[in-house]
Amino acid sequence: MSSLKDLRKRINLLGNRVRILQIIDKNKKKEEFFLRSKASVPLLVYLLNNSRIKKLFVLPGVERIMPHKVKKAIQESGVEIIVCEEYIGRPQEINPKKFSEVLKEKITNKERIKKLKISRRNFYYWKKKIKK
């Protein structure tokens, strides 16, 4: 995980297009940007032309839907694309080791849910996730 010092260097690009353009204009001298949503090609071109960008951090979902030609063009212009796993939402409260230990016990799922003190939906989510 990134340190607080590293996070301060990055500029978060999120919101609508007008807001993203304003953020780029305010931070023209910065070298690291974090793209949190899908950006259009003209927006990426604007980012390349109007900033000193060296590293572009993107979420895995954004990287998957970004066209291959666009990724290639960005990399050819000397910008490094880094896929960054930052999760939005609640942090995990379940200890995977404890969960797997409870799964190994020969008791019913209903008893396991009571023992772990989690919801049924959460239990089956974690059960599927740990078996992979």
List helix spans (H) across 10-119. 17-26, 41-49, 60-65, 68-76, 96-104, 109-116
Answer yes or no: is pLDDT of 37 > 90. no
Domain boundaries in the chain?
4-83, 96-131
Tell me the pLDDT of the chain averaged across its residues.
86
**pTM of this prediction exceeds 0.75:** no
Answer yes or no: is pLDDT of 122 > 70. yes
8 Å CB contact between 54 and 31? yes
Beta bridge partners of 83: 58
**Spatial distance between the Cα atoms of 131 and 20, rounded to a whole number of angstroms:** 40
Q: What confidence category does residue 108 fall into, taking pLDDT thresholds of 50, 70 and 90?
A: very high
88 contact partners, CB below 8 Å, separation of at least 6: none
Token pair belonging to 43: 């927006």
pLDDT at 95: 84
Q: Read off the pLDDT of residues 38-94 as tens digits, 9 standing for 90 and up.
A: 888 999 999 999 999 999 999 888 889 998 999 999 999 999 999 987 666 666 678
Neighbours of 24 (CB within 10 A): 20
8 Å CB contact between 86 and 63? no
2, amino acid identity: S
Q: What confidence category does residue 4 fall into, taking pLDDT thresholds of 50, 70 and 90?
A: very low
Token pair belonging to 41: 């090609």
